[in-house]
Chains A and B, each alone.
Chain A
Amino acid sequence: MSSRELPDAVETVIVGAGVVGNSLAYHLADQGREEILLIDKGPLPDPGGSTGHASNFLMPVEHSKEMTHLTRRSIEQYDEMDTFTESGGIEVARTEERMEELKRRVQSAKAWGEKGRLLETEEVMELVPYLNEELIVGGFYSEGAGTCDPLRAGEIMRERGKELTGGGLVVSPNTEVLDVHVENGAVSAVETDRGTVAADEVVIAAGLWSPKIAEMAGVEIPLTPAVHQMISVGPISFFEDYEGEISFPVVRDMDTQMYERQHGNDLEVGSYQHRPILWDVEDVPSIDEAPLSPTQPPLTEDAFEQSMADALEMVPDLLDDPSAGVRHEIDGLLSQTPDGAPLLGPLQDVEGLWSAAAVWIKEAPAIGEALAQWMTRGWSDIDLHGSDVNRFYEYGNSEAFVKNRADEGFRKIYGIVHPAEQWQTSRPMRTSPFYNRQQELDARFFEAAGWERPQWFNSNEDLVRKYNDELAGLLRGNEWDSRWWSPTILGEHLHMRDHVAMVGDMGFGKFDLVGSDVVEFMEKMAVGRADVDVGKTVYTPILAENGGFVSDLTFARLGPEHYRVITGGAVAGSDRAWFKDHIGDADVTLIDKSESLCTLGVWGPDARNVVDSVTEEDMSHEAFPPYTAQEITVGEVDAWAMRLSYVGELGWEIYAPAAKGQRLWDVIAEAGEEYDIRPVGMGVYGTTGRLEKGYRLYGHELELEYDPSEAGLTFHGVKDADFIGKEAYAEAIDTEDAATLCTLSVDDHTSSAGERRFMLGNEPILDSDGEVIVDDHGRESYVTSAGTGPSVGKHLLMAYLPPEHAEEGNGLQVEYMGDRYPVTVEVVGSRPLFDPENERIRS
Chain B
Amino acid sequence: MNVLACIKRVPETGSKIVLTEDNQRIDAGNLGFTMSPHEECAIEEAVGLVEDHGGSSTVLTLGPEEATEQLRTGLAMGIDEGVLLETDGSEWSPRETASAIADAVDGEGFDLLIFGNESSDMANYQVGVRVARTLDRPCVAGVKSLEIDGDRATAKREVPGGEEVYELDLPAVITVKEGINEPRYASMRAKMQARRQEVETVEPERAGGAGSFEKIELEAPEEDDSVAEILGEGPEAADAVVEMLREDVEVL
Known A290-B30, A308-B192, A326-B191; contact A298-B12, beta-carbon cutoff 8 A: yes
Interface residues on B, range: 20 to 34
A449 to chain B, nearest CB (A): 37
Residues of B within 8 A of A288 (CB): 15-16
Would B32 and A298 count as touching, CB distance under 8 A?
Answer: yes
Expressed in whole angstroms, the Cα–Cα distance for A269 and B191 within the complex equals 14
Most buried by A among B18, B29, B191, B229: B191
Would B15 and A308 count as touching, CB distance under 8 A?
Answer: no
Would A301 and B195 count as touching, CB distance under 8 A?
Answer: yes
B80-122 with Cβ < 8 A to chain A: none
Would B188 and A326 count as touching, CB distance under 8 A?
Answer: yes
Interface segment, B124-132, B161-169, B179-187, B200-208?
A: B179-187
Known A289-B15, A298-B12, A312-B188; contact A4-B229, beta-carbon cutoff 8 A: yes
Would A319 and B187 count as touching, CB distance under 8 A?
Answer: yes
Most buried by A among B29, B31, B69, B188: B188
A525 to chain B, nearest CB (A): 50
Mask, A250-279, CB within 8 Å of B = 1, is 000000000000000000010000000000
Would B188 and A231 count as touching, CB distance under 8 A?
Answer: yes
Residues of A within 8 A of B248 (CB): 1
Residues of B within 8 A of A326 (CB): 185-188, 191
Mask, A304-326, CB within 8 Å of B = 1, is 01001101100000011110111
Would B187 and A308 count as touching, CB distance under 8 A?
Answer: no
Residues of A within 8 A of B16 (CB): 286, 288-289
Residues of A within 8 A of B187 (CB): 233, 319-322, 324-326
Known A319-B187, A324-B187, A325-B184; contact A301-B69, beta-carbon cutoff 8 A: yes
Residues of A within 8 A of B189 (CB): 308, 312, 319-320
B34 to chain A, nearest CB (A): 9
A296 to chain B, nearest CB (A): 11
Mask, B1-43, CB within 8 Å of A = 1, is 0000000000011111010000000000111100000000000
When C-beta atoms are compared, the residue in chain A nearest to B195 turns out to be A305
When C-beta atoms are compared, the residue in chain B nearest to A331 turns out to be B32
B165 to chain A, nearest CB (A): 32
When C-beta atoms are compared, the residue in chain A nearest to B15 turns out to be A291
Expressed in whole angstroms, the Cα–Cα distance for A301 and B195 within the complex equals 9
Residues of A within 8 A of B29 (CB): 283, 285
Residues of A within 8 A of B186 (CB): 325-326
Judge if A297 is at the interface, Cβ distance under 8 Å. yes
Judge if A735 is at the interface, Cβ distance under 8 Å. no
Would B185 and A289 count as touching, CB distance under 8 A?
Answer: no
Q: Give the A interface residue count (CB, 8 A).
A: 31
Known A288-B15, A289-B15; contact A309-B192, beta-carbon cutoff 8 A: yes
A317-346 with Cβ < 8 A to chain B: 319-322, 324-327
Expressed in whole angstroms, the Cα–Cα distance for A291 and B33 within the complex equals 11
Inter-chain CB contacts under 8 Å: number: 69
Known A325-B186, A326-B185; contact A312-B192, beta-carbon cutoff 8 A: yes
A19 to chain B, nearest CB (A): 23
Judge if A3 is at the interface, Cβ distance under 8 Å. yes
Expressed in whole angstroms, the Cα–Cα distance for A285 and B30 within the complex equals 6
A165 to chain B, nearest CB (A): 21
Would B14 and A291 count as touching, CB distance under 8 A?
Answer: yes
A496 to chain B, nearest CB (A): 60
Mask, A165-198, CB within 8 Å of B = 1, is 0000000001000000000000000000000000
Residues of B within 8 A of A319 (CB): 187-189
Would A290 and B15 count as touching, CB distance under 8 A?
Answer: yes
A192 to chain B, nearest CB (A): 15
Expressed in whole angstroms, the Cα–Cα distance for A290 and B31 within the complex equals 6
Most buried by B among A4, A233, A301, A322: A301
Would A308 and B32 count as touching, CB distance under 8 A?
Answer: no
Would A311 and B188 count as touching, CB distance under 8 A?
Answer: yes
Would A1 and B229 count as touching, CB distance under 8 A?
Answer: yes
Expressed in whole angstroms, the Cα–Cα distance for A288 and B192 within the complex equals 32
When C-beta atoms are compared, the residue in chain A nearest to B18 turns out to be A289
A763 to chain B, nearest CB (A): 41
A705-737 with Cβ < 8 A to chain B: none
Residues of B within 8 A of A3 (CB): 229
Expressed in whole angstroms, the Cα–Cα distance for A387 and B248 within the complex equals 50
Residues of B within 8 A of A4 (CB): 229
When C-beta atoms are compared, the residue in chain A nearest to B185 turns out to be A325
When C-beta atoms are compared, the residue in chain B nearest to A318 turns out to be B188
Residues of A within 8 A of B15 (CB): 285, 288-291
Expressed in whole angstroms, the Cα–Cα distance for A298 and B28 within the complex equals 11
A319 to chain B, nearest CB (A): 5
Expressed in whole angstroms, the Cα–Cα distance for A162 and B125 within the complex equals 54
Residues of A within 8 A of B185 (CB): 324-327
Expressed in whole angstroms, the Cα–Cα distance for A290 and B30 within the complex equals 6
Residues of B within 8 A of A311 (CB): 188
Task: List 7 A-B pairs, Cβ < 8 Å.
Answer: A233-B187, A233-B188, A269-B188, A285-B30, A305-B192, A308-B188, A325-B186
The 5 closest A-B CB pairs, nearest first, are: A325-B185, A298-B32, A285-B30, A288-B16, A291-B14
Question: Which residues of chain B have a CB within 8 Å of any CB of chain A?
Answer: 12-16, 18, 29-32, 69, 184-189, 191-192, 195, 227, 229, 248
In the complex, given contacts A269-B188, A297-B32, what are 18 additional A-B residue pairs having Cβ atoms less than 8 angstroms apart?
Answer: A3-B229, A4-B229, A233-B188, A283-B29, A285-B29, A288-B15, A289-B30, A290-B30, A291-B14, A291-B31, A305-B192, A308-B191, A311-B188, A319-B189, A321-B187, A325-B184, A326-B188, A326-B191
